[in-house]
A and B are shown apart, each in its own frame.
Chain A
């Protein structure tokens, strides 16, 4: 048997609960960060060709992530996403063995991005490298393949 007092008490409780829900729902949605709104970068100019000596590697900004640009001993350019596929450390070029090395857990990649040894589960993402401009003064352009 629901008495009038009982009914009113429940109505009041329902009112408070609705208030709480209508406040907590927006708060809950608000504290979840929105999907990254950063624009995706498709290509960057890494620098002039003369800045990169053979058998060296350089890290360049590719949007919000680092990319690694390698000039091989025979003068060719290669570029990869510099984020290791294992636990997202940033990789570096190892001139002695001409390999890409991740210092965190000793992951090794060759110059086609494939895993040579260590824990990385996948090869590095390969970027395209183009040379643009006057011969000898070319810009090295890295872009998503």
Chain B
């Protein structure tokens, strides 16, 4: 029966070809191999987000008068509703953390080199989209913290030259953060960003499958010197290793969701004072803290505008990394790229911690 079904599908879809590809595919084994799994963990967490997100949609209501109450209903009345929401919130944070780890590991292993520039670019785009998911999803429970964080966050877009005012109105669906903003963020969170993710993630994964795993320059050098780099079969060895890491991620996620429930807080009230200690999610904290430190005017420019422009320049540089990394004339790797990466990591960690302590 199974064989017949396989034969039927094979005739139409050439599954044998695919099976042969998977059977022959190998993954290099070396002392940096462990970093290969970071992308897999990120992918696993995306899966968790899709599954729990769809479940939350069954009860969530995207309007200013009902959003908070519907989340309250989910966590207090629906069986396992608390679990689904905690998983979604925690998994979102772990996902962004793992996306950063994945980004920096591919950066330091220089996996973006030719011919993998497009894999890098789609990856950076995906990271920004994930942050967009975080920002838009944060508002959806319509609680006090989220309300004011969104006010501040969308307000920052207003610092952009020329398009600032338009961007603020565009993001908020009006001049202020209201129910219109909530509906808009909901649409962005459950339709626009998922559609973009599907296309980009599909491309990202397809490129990885087509081109195989990149090996870091040190391993490449050994290969060129005639050494054979050990390989392991993609299936089942590598896949099972991947699954093992997914179990690790699942264990961490489940522990967080069980023991550290995500608070719902108070319902948003446009006429209430901003609660003390307000700050954005941790992945925006470094930027938030930087903006706080820039003086209000620098050389006749508005400080905030300069800060926001700086972040934009940094984002463009991040996209261009594969094209900026040129080998030295003597064939050695460009040490400036590694240095810039270390500075970026140190800056992000220090300013995130600083942001926590300063709030």
B77 and A29 contact, CB distance less than 8 A: no
Binary per-residue interface labels of chain A (7-19) against chain B in the complex, 1 for a CB within 8 Å, 0 otherwise: 0000000000001
B77 and A30 contact, CB distance less than 8 A: no
Interface residues contributed by chain A, number (CB under 8 Å): 10
Give the distance to chain A from B69, nearest Cβ to Cβ, in Å. 11
User: A135 interface residue, CB < 8 Å from B?
Assistant: no
A30 and B73 contact, CB distance less than 8 A: no
- Tell me the nearest residue of chain A to B55, going by C-beta: A30
- CA of A33 to CA of B70, assembled, Å: 13
Residues of A within 8 A of B73 (CB): 37
- CA of A28 to CA of B51, assembled, Å: 13
- Given A31-B55, A31-B58, A37-B73: A26 and B80 within 8 A (CB)? yes
Q: Which residues 23-37 of A have a CB within 8 angstroms of B? A: 26-27, 29-34, 37
A33 and B78 contact, CB distance less than 8 A: yes
User: B79 interface residue, CB < 8 Å from A?
Assistant: yes
B77 and A26 contact, CB distance less than 8 A: no
- CA of A17 to CA of B55, assembled, Å: 21
User: B98 interface residue, CB < 8 Å from A?
Assistant: no
B79 and A34 contact, CB distance less than 8 A: yes
Residues of A within 8 A of B80 (CB): 26-27, 29-30
- CA of A32 to CA of B55, assembled, Å: 11
User: B159 interface residue, CB < 8 Å from A?
Assistant: no
A29 and B55 contact, CB distance less than 8 A: no
Residues of B within 8 A of A34 (CB): 77-79
Residues of B within 8 A of A19 (CB): 247, 250
Binary per-residue interface labels of chain B (76-101) against chain A in the complex, 1 for a CB within 8 Å, 0 otherwise: 01111101100000000000000000
Give the distance to chain B from A86, nearest Cβ to Cβ, in Å. 30
Q: Which residues 7-66 of A have a CB within 8 angstroms of B? A: 19, 26-27, 29-34, 37
A32 and B79 contact, CB distance less than 8 A: yes
- Tell me the nearest residue of chain A to B243, going by C-beta: A16
Give the distance to chain A from B155, nearest Cβ to Cβ, in Å. 37
> Which of A27, A31, A37 makes the CB contact (< 8 A) with B77?
A37
- CA of A30 to CA of B84, assembled, Å: 8
Residues of B within 8 A of A37 (CB): 73, 77
- Tell me the nearest residue of chain B to A22, going by C-beta: B254
- Tell me the nearest residue of chain A to B84, going by C-beta: A30
Residues of B within 8 A of A27 (CB): 51, 55, 80
Give the distance to chain B from A36, nearest Cβ to Cβ, in Å. 10
Give the distance to chain B from A40, nearest Cβ to Cβ, in Å. 16
- Tell me the nearest residue of chain B to A31, going by C-beta: B58
Residues of B within 8 A of A33 (CB): 59, 78
- CA of A37 to CA of B73, assembled, Å: 9
Residues of A within 8 A of B55 (CB): 27, 30-31
Give the distance to chain A from B202, nearest Cβ to Cβ, in Å. 24
- Tell me the nearest residue of chain B to A32, going by C-beta: B79
Give the distance to chain B from A60, nearest Cβ to Cβ, in Å. 23
- Tell me the nearest residue of chain B to A35, going by C-beta: B77
- CA of A52 to CA of B190, assembled, Å: 48
- CA of A40 to CA of B79, assembled, Å: 21
Binary per-residue interface labels of chain B (226-257) against chain A in the complex, 1 for a CB within 8 Å, 0 otherwise: 00000000000000000000010010000000
Residues of A within 8 A of B77 (CB): 34, 37
Most central of A26, A30, A32 by chain B CB within 10 Å: A30
- Tell me the nearest residue of chain B to A34, going by C-beta: B77
Closest 6 pairs between A and B when the two form their complex, measured CB to CB:
A26-B80, A29-B79, A30-B80, A34-B77, A37-B77, A29-B80
Name B's A-contacting residues (CB within 8 A).
51, 55, 58-59, 73, 77-81, 83-84, 247, 250
Known pairs A30-B58, A34-B78; list 13 more (Cβ under 8 Å).
A19-B247, A19-B250, A26-B79, A27-B55, A29-B80, A30-B80, A30-B83, A30-B84, A33-B59, A33-B78, A34-B77, A34-B79, A37-B77
Name A's B-contacting residues (CB within 8 A).
19, 26-27, 29-34, 37
What are 25 A-B pairs at a CB distance below 8 A?
A: A19-B247, A19-B250, A26-B80, A26-B83, A26-B84, A27-B51, A27-B55, A27-B80, A29-B79, A29-B80, A30-B55, A30-B58, A30-B78, A30-B79, A30-B80, A30-B81, A30-B83, A30-B84, A31-B55, A31-B58, A33-B59, A33-B78, A34-B78, A37-B73, A37-B77
